Structure 1
Amino acid sequence: MAYDLEEQEQLDAIKAWWARYGTVIVSLVVAVALAWGGWWSWKAYESHRASQAMSYFEALEDAASLGTAESVVRIKTAAATLREQYGATGYAARGALVAAQALLVQKDTDGAREQLEWLAAQNKNPSMQSVARLRLAGLLLDQKQYDAALAQLTSPPPAFAALFADRRGDILAAQGKRDEARAAWQSAIDGLGTANPLTQVVQLKLDALSGA
């Protein structure tokens, strides 16, 4: 097929442009395709892992609901699997709290403490971490390990500041540090506000301390 001079010049220009930029364009298209495929593969992998983690969490909940001494091994096994293989998922954090509560019911204080200590050391889930620190402080209070309990209540996140102050008051009162306990409970009341039902509970403790 014959081309006139103008068409031939256009074709030559296109060929020259493609010769200069064609490899780069093809490379970019391939890179985008690979990135897109990799992203979808990663999403599928993450979804699969989340599904597996959920299965272990449900098994943990089932074992915890039994409330029997025989269920302790199942609870610890499921919780350990969640921590070791799915530690980055939310199921691991939730599983640690469920396991700790179930083990406390079974009087396995050391097992419960292990669950809470693991979660208290995790930074990826601040809310769950704060709950674990609060519960761990209460467990240590029951064991009369007051300094260790107070150590769990340092630098509270704003949303937990009042709850941490309340627990700190409990520990200080157990140590006989009445003035410090009073200050901690007052701080908790100020942080909770009058509308919070827990405020009345803290006020009762403060009144009891003042009347002692």
Structure 2
Amino acid sequence: MAQHLDLEEQEQLDELKHFWKQYGNLITWALIVVLGAFAAWNGYQYWQRSQAAQASVMFDEIERAVQSGETARIDRALADMKERFGSTAYAQQAGLLAAKAHYDKGNVDAARAALTWVADKAADPGYQAVAKLRLAGILLEKKAYDEALQQVSGAFPKDFSGLVADRRGDILMAQGKKTEAKAEYEKAYKALDERAEYRRLVEVKLNALGVDPAAGQVKLATAENAGANK
């Protein structure tokens, strides 16, 4: 009986040796790949956390520079942040913050440069949209209408559709294109939330063009109710 068991064990051992000889290298390399990928993922996560922590510290430095009103210090800190942590959300926030600080001090060219960087480099579509809208506003003030329209063309996140249409309306209005401007303001009015204060501003612009969007919506609702009751 013992000899029979020994033979079975020997057969199993021989099978295992044969299996390992045939597939051992493949299994070993598969394990190396899996473990290597796991280690790389952990390393990447650590690197991201480290980058975010360092970028946060530099963002605080830009905030302090903005509060002190030292534009040269703002530029140095932003340039350093763009070079070292340009792909982080902190860098994009810093670009918008620096642009506002420069604009408030009348440094329009510096504000435009900061906004252009965010519009071109931001990975987050929300930050990119904000930068483009503000950049379009600056270009509108400089009467660079074609450039301003380029900034508010193309795809934008849905939440920004009302603001984008309103800005297009402002640019077209400045060009004297009242019909096109009215169409954009109407798009903006429909896209903006009814509770948004900004919607009231768009309504005022439409009123100035002889349009009462609120009355139009009441008529539309009345017509829809009448149709439903038939």
How far apart are 1:80 and its partner, in Å? 1.5
Residues 15 and 94 of structure 1, relative CA distance in 2, 3 Å threshold: same
CA 210–5 in structure 1, closer or farther in 2 if over 3 Å, else same: closer
**In 2 relative to 1, CA 181–13 (structure 1 residues): closer, same or farther, beyond 3 Å?**
closer
Q: Partner letter of residue 131 of structure 1?
A: V
The SS at the match of 2:47 is helix
Could you say what secondary structure the match of 1:45 adopts?
A: helix
Are residue 54 (structure 1) and residue 56 (structure 2) matched?
A: yes
Judge conservation of contact 1:156–1:164 (CA < 8 Å) in 2: no
- When structure 1 is superposed on structure 2, of 86-95 and 96-105 the one drifting more is 86-95
Which residue is equivalent to 2:176?
176
| 177 and 193 in structure 1: CA distance in 2 versus 1, 3 angstrom threshold | same
132-141 or 117-126: bigger deviation: 117-126
Change (3 A) 1:92 1:123: closer
Note the residue ranges of structure 2 that are not aligned, 5 or more in a row: 212-230
Deviations 1:69-99 (A, max 9, x none): xx10111112122222212111111111001
Please report how far the alpha carbon of residue 172 of structure 1 lies from its aligned counterpart in structure 2 after TM superposition.
1.9
Q: Map 1:19-98 onto structure 2 (within 5 A).
A: 19-66=21-68, 68=69, 71-98=70-97
Q: Distance in 2 between matches of 1:186 and 1:35?
A: 52
2: CA distance, partners of 1:165 / 1:106: 28
- Using the size of structure 1 for normalisation, the TM-score is 0.89
- Name the counterpart of 1:105: 104
Q: Distance in 2 between matches of 1:207 and 1:133?
A: 27
CA distance in 1, matches of 2:180, 2:6: 97
- Tell me how far apart the structure 2 counterparts of residues 149 and 35 of structure 1 sit (CA, whole Å): 46
Aligned residue identity for 2:101: A
TM-score, scaled relative to structure 2: 0.82
Number of aligned residue pairs: 207
Match of 1:155? 154
Cα RMSD (Å) of the superposition? Answer: 2.0
> For residues 156 and 44 of structure 1, what CA distance do their matches in structure 2 show?
34
- Cα distance between partner residues in 1 of 2:29 and 2:55: 38
Measured in 1, the distance between the counterparts of 2:51 and 2:27 equals 36
Structure 1 alignment gaps of length 5 or more? none
Contact residue 92 and residue 122 of structure 2 kept, 8 A: no
Note the alpha carbon deviations across 1:123-175, whole angstroms, 9 max, x for none: 62111111111000111111121121111111242221211111112122222
AA at the equivalent of 2:145:
Y
What is the distance in 2 between the residues matched to 1:13 and 1:186?
78
Deviations 1:5-39 (A, max 9, x none): 33322222222222222232223223322222222
Mapped to 1, the partners of 2:207 and 2:168 lie a distance apart of: 16
8 Å contact kept, 1:140–1:149: yes
Question: Quick one: percent identity of the two aligned structures?
Answer: 40
Q: Distance in 1 between matches of 2:191 and 2:12?
A: 76
CA distance in structure 2 between the aligned counterparts of 1:24 and 1:199, rounded to whole angstroms: 64
Distance of 1:114 and 1:143 partners within structure 2? 14
Structure 1 equivalent of residue 228 of structure 2: none
